[in-house]
């Protein structure tokens, strides 16, 4: 997301099932220095505004984007994560630790309306939203948002059905479906899944309506100026016309005088879809969803995936400067809407592939760093603190790839003079044990390198800068110069008191 610092590392600083005890902002503030010590340079925080379920809402059931845990609405003052003051204190603490803050921006939909309205709407086929399945009819829709608990503070804008495209519930008949409001059209420039996938959930915001667009512009300025956040994570991009963010982002940057680097969630396995979006919105990054699915397949295929082609058809392969790589997130963890969990045995290898290579900006997941004790679904990846430290201190210099076999691949970083002791080599397997000859650079000729992951014996680098490195079946081996041992010492203990 940023050209500075040298090895940026984004932390998704939440998981879906965090305790609903309004304590998370305090936890982040208390541990900001610890996260920075582990190499985190940016933290993506969950949606900070009030959702329809109040203190139980993860944040994506957006009700009032002006309520950051300040007003008694939806049964609580605090959000799931805490109060507005605690949120601002967490941002301040992260900044003090040298960590940039990335805010989660959810503008696609609203939920939890304060009142219903009778609206004429066309029922449409849920499998093809372009196709009406009946004439226009009257439905009773939850479309009136007046925010009585906020009483006009910060904005007196109220929402009614004219601010939306459609909805999925008729209160009068207690009937679920998908309805397009009469006189409205679904947005263009969205994914063509389900014919037109503009509608996702709740009441679908018509971001192109001039009144709505002006209000979202005002809110964006208010939010950035109020919170002091440094960057943005943009939710549900494939459900919003690309032309909206093509206008909204530059206008927000101009109005606030802030760079506001952004990364978007466009959930598609096809890199061509991501590239088409970036043609319209070239000044953002995207999460590398195709790579996530390649990693998922490698973990679940019993060795039948060709590892040498792992980066083919990925955003990091096609456009590394705008690729944010990830292994897991709140939607892919077990039980969630896009569940495609990377199996535990492969996660250390997956993280090595995104953390230690030069291309892309990696994002690590809270649930992998700390586990998810609330559900027990995800154990902590115990190798992750070490890999994070290796990224910060050792993953520098020229990269040498050995991506030439379907079952065993490897790569190395030469290191550089600016980072004493730097350099590393990685070999991983998805099935059989074996070895791989890796070029680590002639600058390391004659050096003794130690195995910090994999449990193998030390090796001596040949005169040509190459070395044969072993790997166990389905395993990960990581080697570093012996001089790096002091740098890495104790890395796996850095987060122990939080796990």
> How does pLDDT run across 441-479, given as a tens digit for each residue?
999 999 999 999 999 999 999 999 999 999 999 999 999
How far, in Å, CA of 79 to CA of 53, rounded? 9
242-256 vs 271-280: helix crossing angle, rounded to 10: 50
pLDDT attached to residue 3: 41
Confidence of residue 494 (pLDDT cuts 50, 70, 90): low
Handedness of CA 177, 181, 182, 187 (dihedral sign): negative
How far, in Å, CA of 93 to CA of 452, rounded? 32
Q: Which two tokens stand for residue 21?
A: 């005890």
Who wins on pLDDT, 201 or 338? 201
Indicate if the pLDDT at residue 196 is higher than 80: yes
Confidence of residue 339 (pLDDT cuts 50, 70, 90): confident
How far, in Å, CA of 441 to CA of 467, rounded? 10
- Please indicate whether residue 414 is annotated as part of the active site: no
pLDDT attached to residue 428: 98
The mean pLDDT of 102-118, rounded to a whole number, is 98
How far, in Å, CA of 7 to CA of 426, rounded? 18
From 235, 288, 328, 368, active-site residue? 235
From 67, 70, 168, 265, active-site residue? 265
The mean pLDDT of 412-435, rounded to a whole number, is 96
pLDDT attached to residue 333: 86
Domains of the chain in start order, with CATH, are: 10-107+211-394 (3.20.20.80), 110-210 (2.40.30.140), 399-493 (2.60.40.1180)
pLDDT attached to residue 91: 99
- Please indicate whether residue 235 is annotated as part of the active site: yes
How far, in Å, CA of 13 to CA of 410, rounded? 30
Compute φ and ψ for 79, nearest 5 degrees: -85, -175
Place of tokens 């009483």: 151
pLDDT attached to residue 5: 53
**How do residues 210-251 score in pLDDT, each as one tens digit?**
999 999 999 999 999 999 999 999 999 999 999 999 999 999
pLDDT attached to residue 353: 99
Indicate if the pLDDT at residue 497 is higher than 80: no
Confidence of residue 338 (pLDDT cuts 50, 70, 90): confident
**How do residues 76-97 score in pLDDT, each as one tens digit?**
999 999 999 999 999 999 999 9
How far, in Å, CA of 33 to CA of 97, rounded? 5
**How do residues 3-35 score in pLDDT, each as one tens digit?**
445 799 999 999 999 999 999 999 999 999 999
Q: Which two tokens stand for residue 245?
A: 């963010």
Q: Which amino acids are annotated as binding site for Ca(2+), given as ranges?
A: 108, 198, 204, 239, 303, 407, 430
411 pairs with which residues across the strands? 401, 426
For 282, other C-beta atoms within 10 Å of its C-beta total: 9
pLDDT attached to residue 4: 44
The mean pLDDT of 197-207, rounded to a whole number, is 97
Confidence of residue 2 (pLDDT cuts 50, 70, 90): very low
Q: How far is CA 428 from CA 89, 411, 416, 468, in A?
A: 42, 9, 24, 13
How far, in Å, CA of 274 to CA of 288, rounded? 9
Indicate if the pLDDT at residue 496 is higher than 80: no
Indicate if the pLDDT at residue 299 is higher than 60: yes
How far, in Å, CA of 484 to CA of 358, rounded? 19
Radius of gyration of the chain, Cα coordinates, nearest whole angstrom:
24
Q: Which two tokens stand for residue 498?
A: 């939080």
């Amino acid at each position: 997301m940023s050209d500075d610092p040298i090895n940026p590392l984004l932390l998704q600083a939440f998981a879906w099932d965090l305790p609903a005890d309004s304590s998370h902002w305090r936890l982040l503030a208390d541990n900001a220095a610890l996260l920075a010590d582990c190499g985190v340079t940016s933290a993506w925080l969950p949606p900070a505004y009030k959702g329809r379920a109040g203190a139980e809402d993860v944040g994506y059931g957006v009700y009032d984007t002006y309520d950051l845990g300040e007003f008694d609405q939806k049964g609580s003052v605090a959000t799931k994560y805490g109060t507005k003051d605690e949120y601002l204190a967490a941002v301040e603490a992260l900044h003090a630790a040298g960590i940039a803050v990335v805010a989660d921006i959810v503008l696609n939909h609203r939920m939890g309306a304060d009142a219903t309205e009778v609206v004429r709407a066309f029922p449409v086929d849920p499998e093809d939203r372009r196709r009406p399945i009946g004439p226009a009819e009257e439905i009773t829709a939850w479309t009136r948002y007046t925010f009585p608990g906020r009483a006009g503070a910060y904005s007196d804008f109220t929402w009614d059905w004219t601010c939306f495209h459609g909805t999925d519930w008729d209160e009068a008949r207690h009937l679920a479906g998908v309805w397009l409001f009469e006189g409205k059209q679904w947005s263009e420039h969205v994914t063509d899944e389900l014919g037109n996938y503009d509608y996702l959930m709740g009441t679908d915001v018509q971001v192109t309506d001039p009144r709505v667009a002006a209000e979202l512009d005002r809110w964006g300025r208010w939010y950035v100026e109020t919170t002091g956040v440094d960057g943005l994570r943009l939710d549900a991009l494939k459900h919003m016309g690309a032309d909206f963010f093509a206008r909204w982002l530059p206008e927000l940057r101009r109005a606030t005088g802030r760079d506001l680097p952004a990364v978007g969630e466009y959930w598609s396995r096809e890199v061509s879809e991501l590239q088409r979006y970036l043609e319209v919105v070239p000044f953002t990054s995207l999460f590398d969803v195709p790579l996530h699915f390649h990693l998922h397949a490698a973990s679940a295929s019993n060795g039948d995936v060709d590892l040498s082609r792992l980066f083919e058809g990925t955003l990091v392969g096609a456009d590394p400067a705008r690729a944010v790589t990830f292994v897991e997130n709140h939607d892919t963890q077990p039980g969630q809407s896009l569940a495609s969990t990377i199996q535990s045995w492969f996660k250390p290898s997956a993280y090595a592939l995104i953390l230690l290579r030069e291309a892309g900006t990696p994002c690590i997941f809270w649930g992998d760093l700390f586990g998810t004790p609330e559900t027990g679904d995800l154990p902590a990846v115990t190798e992750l603190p070490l890999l994070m430290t290796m990224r910060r201190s050792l993953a520098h210099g020229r990269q040498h790839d050995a991506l030439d076999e379907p079952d065993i691949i490897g790569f190395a970083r030469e290191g550089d003079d600016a980072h004493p002791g730097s350099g590393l080599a990685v070999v991983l397997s998805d099935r059989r044990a074996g070895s791989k000859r890796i070029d680590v650079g002639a600058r390391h000729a004659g050096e003794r390198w130690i195995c910090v992951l994999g449990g193998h014996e030390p090796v001596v680098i040949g005169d040509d800068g190459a070395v044969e490195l072993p790997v166990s079946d389905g395993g990960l081996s990581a080697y570093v110069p012996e001089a790096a041992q002091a740098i890495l010492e104790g890395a796996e203990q850095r987060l122990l008191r939080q796990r």
